[in-house]
Amino acid sequence: MGLLDDAEIKLEEQADEEVLRRSIKKPAFFAVLLDRYEDAFLRKAESIVHNREEAEDIVQEAFAKIYQYGGRFVTVEGASFKSWGYKILMNTAFTHYQKRKRQWQETAELDPELYEMLPDRESRQFEKEEMRDYLISVFSRMPEHFARILQFHFLDGLPQKEIAKREDISVGAVKTRIHRAKKEFKKVNKTILYDQSRA
């Protein structure tokens, strides 16, 4: 076993704060922190944005920030690397969520067909603004490609040929994706309503 192997084993046994300190001089050591926290960070990010791909982007960005600002981290009473890292992750996730929400708010004009897809529209009697916020909430929990196709079709009012061009797929594939996106919309809507009923 070589010296590097010995160093790696010892590094695995070190506290997070020490690994971070050493990784500033030896970037390869940062992989130890990735191994320790990547899965937990991914679960936390996904619980906020409800989208696996976006959660992966958030975690990647959070780790980049952790490494970038690693030299500024100082261990003090009650502030560990773990709490500091989670704070960066949460800030990154909420920034992404708010940006996505703003994008929906800027384009969200209520299409009659989209409104019809809400099974509880009679009982809830949403005001227009409340309805928009609710739709944004549903969209934000859907897979990105479904949310995007609904935005193009219902909110932006694009013809299917234009959507096909933007997505680089056939018109037939657009129709199929819209159909599946509607099913996903209804499923997510039911989940939200169920969660609200239990709250």
Q: Given this model, what pLDDT does residue 185 score?
A: 87
Calculate what percentage of the chain has a pLDDT beyond 70: 72
Equal fold, 3-101 vs 108-198: no
Query: Rounded to whole angstroms, how far apart are CA atoms 2 and 41?
Result: 33
Owner of token pair 């929400």: 101
The phi and psi torsions of 88 (rounded to 5 degrees) equal: -65, -45
pLDDT of 137 higher than 50:
yes
pTM of this structure: 0.50
State pLDDT tens for residues 168-197.
889 899 889 988 988 888 888 777 776 766
Q: How confident is the model at residue 159 (pLDDT cuts 50, 70, 90)?
A: confident
Question: Given its phi and psi angles, is residue 121 left (phi above 0), alpha (psi -120 to 50 degrees) or beta?
Answer: alpha
- What mean pLDDT, rounded, does the chain reach? 77
Distance of CA 23 to the CA centre of its chain: 27
CATH number of 108-198: 1.10.10.10
- In sequence order, what are the residues at sequence separation of 6 or more whose Cβ sits closer than 8 angstroms to the Cβ of residue 185? 114, 117, 138, 139, 142, 146, 150
Q: Given this model, what pLDDT does residue 126 score?
A: 47
Q: Given this model, what pLDDT does residue 50 score?
A: 73
State pLDDT tens for residues 61-76.
999 999 888 888 876 6
The pLDDT of 110-127, averaged and rounded, is 52
Q: Which CATH architecture has domain 3-101?
A: Orthogonal Bundle (1.10)
Q: Given this model, what pLDDT does residue 182 score?
A: 86
Strands (E), the chain: none
Query: Rounded to whole angstroms, how far apart are CA atoms 175 and 70?
Result: 48
Domain extents in the chain: 3-101, 108-198
